[in-house]
């Protein structure tokens, strides 16, 4: 009886470990704010994988961790699909599970790869686990339309360590967190090897000293001015009685007047940037003369460069809407139109893998949006501005293209009202901050209902407006030049460590095949 009980407990432990890692990953992010868990979040999963011999179960353990993490971390998808997509509770949960199940294939692949390596050597498995985890996150950035939401490195809150992102991107912080779990686990598994405890102590001290050594310096006050308007208007996808008043000129006129007053009170020596968010009002710049005239008037009367989100149509066709940003110069002339390149699945279009035509999307009043194809920047006499839209902020490789194109300040316009009062809005903001660090640029983030903020090139929040309120943020920034290592070379670090991990998997697989094919000596056969 004892043997059976012991067998049941032992057999169930790997699954509990996988569940635990999924929960720890979830708890490290803003809903619970236990960011310290980032350093041990992967420990239970890796512990289970390096003791596992079956590749299929290794995949399943990684898949369980992924399902727990994605389903809990992205819980807000249910509310979005219900309120704005018009789906039932059951269908909304179905979308969440479909989404979580699809992206859980990636941590499942991590589990499979880890077992292949650990079957050769547990130490080898521990050493390569950070490389394989970074490889899985890098894959998540591109596969299935890409969804690099809440990568492990984003939970690292140490201000000094965050500066590593200017060289490695956020993937370098993911590597540090995964490696810490592996080092702690190695010391636990091999307690008699004192050198491992010495190495663990040195690793921790190294992290602390690195964090202190990389703490960013204080910056001089910004010499350029920004006016960020947070209108807090209802979403275009909200109920008709909520946004109907905004189709009349009076609220739009009020927004214009408040923006102009803020600019006039500033008495700026050079034209400021006056920014409205994505979806600030339900008007179309190309097809609504009232809205267009309002923006042109605002630019002229404020003497500012005006940046605003709007919906445009490719080649003028109503069947090809585009989520766009326009930049007007102080004379009211159109300086730039940028069309959003990376669209939101289920928000702006339905992915091919989600049964398009049968599964709806939350912006149901227009057809599937058409993505833009080119990164464009606005060149002004004061500096060059790069504008990107909402969800694009979580794709580091995309934002570097704006800086390579000459952007000296980054402007992110967004409408996070879709998330309601969930933790997703704060998570989105936290990820956007890393784009400032990676490229050493000021980030001006303007949202409809929050979080609107000015972020310095080291990721520090200079000023912000709280969520769900009207406000106008006036603050300084600088147009900066130069390129970081990450801006120039992109995901070189992620590519190198992923390659190391894959080489380790390939070597272990070949070695394991040779062992199975090797002839058995007679002396090794026992009766």
Q: What is the mean pLDDT of residues 276-299?
A: 84
What is the predicted pLDDT for the residue at 363?
Answer: 52
Instruction: Name the pLDDT band for 310 (thresholds 50, 70, 90).
Output: very high
Residue numbers annotated as active site: 278, 340, 390
> Does residue 91 lie in a domain region?
yes
Q: What's the CA gap between 264 and 266, in Å, rounded?
A: 5
Identify whether residues 453 and 503 lie together within a single domain.
no
Average pLDDT, the chain: 89
DSSP for 221-259, written as a single string: PPSEEEEEEE--PPPTTS-HHHHGGGGSHHHHHHHHHHH
Q: What's the CA gap between 415 and 389, in Å, rounded?
A: 9
Identify whether residues 317 and 447 lie together within a single domain.
yes
> Does residue 40 lie in a domain region?
yes
At 176-203, the pLDDT tens digits run: 999 999 999 999 999 989 999 999 999 9
Identify whether residues 65 and 205 lie together within a single domain.
yes
Identify whether residues 500 and 435 lie together within a single domain.
no
Q: Is the pLDDT of residue 313 over 50?
A: yes
Identify whether residues 208 and 276 lie together within a single domain.
no
Identify whether residues 209 and 328 lie together within a single domain.
no
- Domain extent, residue 404, equals 224-477
Q: What's the CA gap between 25 and 72, in Å, rounded?
A: 10
Q: Is the pLDDT of residue 205 over 90?
A: yes
Q: What's the CA gap between 298 and 306, in Å, rounded?
A: 8
Q: Is the pLDDT of residue 65 over 50?
A: yes
Does residue 146 contact residue 140 with C-beta atoms inside 8 Å?
yes
- Tell me the torsion sign for CA atoms 97, 98, 101, 102: negative
Q: Is the pLDDT of residue 462 over 50?
A: yes
Q: What DSSP state is assigned to residue 310? A: E
> Does residue 521 lie in a domain region?
no
At 417-427, the pLDDT tens digits run: 888 888 999 99
At 327-353, the pLDDT tens digits run: 999 999 999 999 999 998 877 777 766
Identify whether residues 401 and 273 lie together within a single domain.
yes
Total number of domains in the chain: 2
> Does residue 526 lie in a domain region?
no
Which CATH number belongs to the domain containing residue 404 in this structure? Answer: 3.60.110.10
Q: Is the pLDDT of residue 237 over 60?
A: no
Identify whether residues 147 and 262 lie together within a single domain.
no
């Amino acid at each position: 009886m004892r043997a059976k009980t012991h067998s049941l407990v032992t057999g169930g432990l790997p699954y509990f470990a996988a569940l635990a890692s999924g929960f720890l990953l979830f708890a490290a992010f803003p809903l619970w704010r236990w960011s310290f868990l980032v350093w041990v979040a992967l420990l239970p999963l890796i512990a289970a994988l390096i003791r596992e011999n079956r590749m299929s179960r290794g995949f399943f353990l990684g898949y369980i961790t992924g399902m727990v993490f994605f389903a809990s971390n992205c819980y807000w998808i249910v509310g979005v699909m219900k309120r704005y997509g018009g789906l039932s509770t059951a269908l909304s949960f179905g979308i969440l599970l479909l989404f979580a199940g699809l992206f859980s294939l990636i941590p499942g692949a991590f589990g499979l790869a880890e077992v292949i390596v650990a079957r050769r050597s547990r130490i080898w498995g521990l050493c390569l686990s950070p490389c394989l985890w970074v490889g899985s996150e890098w894959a998540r950035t591109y596969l299935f339309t890409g969804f690099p939401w809440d990568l492990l490195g984003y939970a690292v809150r140490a201000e000094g360590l965050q500066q590593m992102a200017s060289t490695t991107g956020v993937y370098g912080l993911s590597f540090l967190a995964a490696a810490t779990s592996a080092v702690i686990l190695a010391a636990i598994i091999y307690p008699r090897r004192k050198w491992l405890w010495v190495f663990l102590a040195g690793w921790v001290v190294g992290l602390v000293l690195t964090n202190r050594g990389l703490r960013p310096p204080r910056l001089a006050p910004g010499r350029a001015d920004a006016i960020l308007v947070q209108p807090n208007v209802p979403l275009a996808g909200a109920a008709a009685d909520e946004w109907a008043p905004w189709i009349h000129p009076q609220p739009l006129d009020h927004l214009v007047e408040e923006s102009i007053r803020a600019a006039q009170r500033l008495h700026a020596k050079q034209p400021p940037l006056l920014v409205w968010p994505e979806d600030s009002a339900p008007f179309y710049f190309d097809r609504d003369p009232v809205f267009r005239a309002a923006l042109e008037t605002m630019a002229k009367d404020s003497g500012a460069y005006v940046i605003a989100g709007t919906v445009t149509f490719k080649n003028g066709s109503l069947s090809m809407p585009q989520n766009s940003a326009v930049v007007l110069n102080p004379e009211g002339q159109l300086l730039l139109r940028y069309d959003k390149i990376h669209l939101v699945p289920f928000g702006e279009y339905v992915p091919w893998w989600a049964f398009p035509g049968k599964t709806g999307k939350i912006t149901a009043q227009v057809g599937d949006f058409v993505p833009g194809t080119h990164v464009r920047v606005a060149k002004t006499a004061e500096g060059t501005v790069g504008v990107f839209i909402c969800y694009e902020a979580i794709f580091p490789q995309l934002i570097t293209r704006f800086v390579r194109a000459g952007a000296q300040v980054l402007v992110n316009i967004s409408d996070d009202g879709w998330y309601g009062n969930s933790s997703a809005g704060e998570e989105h903001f936290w990820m956007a901050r890393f784009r400032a660090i990676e490229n050493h640029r000021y980030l001006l983030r303007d949202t409809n209902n929050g979080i609107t903020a000015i972020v310095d090139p080291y990721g520090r929040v200079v000023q912000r407006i709280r969520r769900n309120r009207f406000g106008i943020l006036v603050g300084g920034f600088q147009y900066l030049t130069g390129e970081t290592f990450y801006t120039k070379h992109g995901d070189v670090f992620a590519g190198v460590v992923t390659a190391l991990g894959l080489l380790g998997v390939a070597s272990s697989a070949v070695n394991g095949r040779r062992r199975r094919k090797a002839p058995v000596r007679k002396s090794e056969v026992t009766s």
